[in-house]
């Protein structure tokens, strides 16, 4: 079950964090995996390509390179992203907003635009990385959270357009994940803050997020499209506590 034998997969942002875990998971499931990143690094067994997903021409070049080498693309994981959190609208700059959208939104949209040209007539899989902050409002998320909400809408619209080609388009919305971007910050206050507000009481492991990508990439998920799957320990389900005094019984009967 969930085998990816003989599948050709492309993972953007595949050199670290969630992308690296997805590459490892796909390799273990039997796929040939191309890892695209800004740096020349890849998981052992994957094929590394260097590129910038914020540039449409570079996306086309990378996809053409994969198709020329392997004949087709079965799976595209649009995962590359930047994470400028902590910025209120009052401090948002044109440069920050442009960079965030060029990578997080344009990179996904142009991947969705061009990948179908290299997928077989039998269909394919496109899976995008959104975020739990793309599903709920948060303070200081003027660039990042808004960009991840855009990924949600790209996913839904693309699922409708590409259904006729047998291509499914879905998104994963991870909670906060124990990647180097989080753990390399000394005494990162985000870790206890999010842990306290997550019903499962902890942050996610990259491998747990990769498992969801694996399922949506598999044949078993053939009838799922346009879905946004939160893998967030329950944080978007609602508050994990409601610290109020008991109500006066006179008003509850």
Question: 12-56, pLDDT tens digit by residue?
Answer: 999 999 999 999 999 999 999 999 999 988 789 999 999 999 999
Site of tokens 């890849």: 42
Per the structure block, which two tokens stand in for 113?
């635009």
Residue-range definition of the domain harbouring residue 71: 8-251
> Is 144 in the active site?
yes
- Decide if 3 is inside a domain: no
In tens, the pLDDT along 63-114 reads 999 999 999 999 999 999 999 989 999 999 999 999 999 999 999 999 999 9
Burial bucket for residue 250 (CB in 10 Å: 0-12, 13-18, 19+):
exposed
The catalytic residue among 34, 144, 223, 242 is 144
182 inside domain: yes
**1, part of any domain:** no
Which tens digits make up the pLDDT trace of 208-241?
A: 999 999 999 999 999 999 999 999 999 999 876 7
Does 29 fall in a domain? yes
Domain count, the chain: 1
Q: Check: CB of residue 49 under 8 Å from CB of residue 114.
A: no
Integer Cα distance of 167 and 122 in angstroms: 8
Here the CATH number for the domain that contains residue 131 is: 3.40.50.720
Is 66 within a domain? yes
pTM of structure: 0.95
Specify whether the CB–CB gap between 37 and 13 falls below 8 A: yes
Is 219 among the domain residues?
yes
Residue 2 domain-assigned?
no
């Amino acid at each position: 079950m969930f085998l990816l034998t003989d599948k050709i997969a492309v993972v953007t942002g595949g050199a670290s964090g969630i992308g690296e875990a997805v590459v490892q998971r796909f390799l273990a499931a039997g796929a040939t995996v191309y890892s695209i990143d800004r740096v020349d690094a890849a998981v052992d067994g994957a094929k590394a390509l260097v590129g910038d997903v914020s540039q449409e021409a570079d996306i086309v070049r990378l996809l053409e390179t994969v198709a020329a080498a392997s004949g087709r693309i079965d799976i595209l994981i649009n995962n590359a992203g930047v994470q400028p959190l902590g910025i209120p609208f009052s401090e948002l700059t044109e440069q920050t907003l442009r960079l965030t959208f060029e990578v997080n939104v344009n990179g996904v949209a142009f991947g969705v635009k061009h990948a179908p040209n290299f997928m077989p007539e039998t269909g394919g899989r496109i899976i995008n990385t959104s975020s739990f902050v793309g599903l709920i409002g948060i303070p200081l998320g003027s660039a990042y959270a808004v960009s991840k909400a855009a990924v949600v809408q790209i996913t839904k619209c693309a699922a409708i357009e590409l259904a006729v080609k047998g291509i499914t388009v879905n998104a994963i919305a991870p909670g906060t994940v124990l990647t180097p971007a989080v753990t390399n910050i000394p005494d990162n206050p985000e870790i206890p803050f999010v842990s306290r507000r997550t019903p499962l009481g902890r942050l996610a492991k990259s491998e747990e997020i990769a498992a969801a990508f694996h399922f949506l990439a598999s044949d078993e998920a053939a009838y799922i499209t346009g879905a946004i799957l939160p893998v967030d320990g329950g944080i978007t389900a609602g508050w994990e506590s409601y610290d109020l005094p008991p109500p006066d019984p006179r008003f509850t009967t």
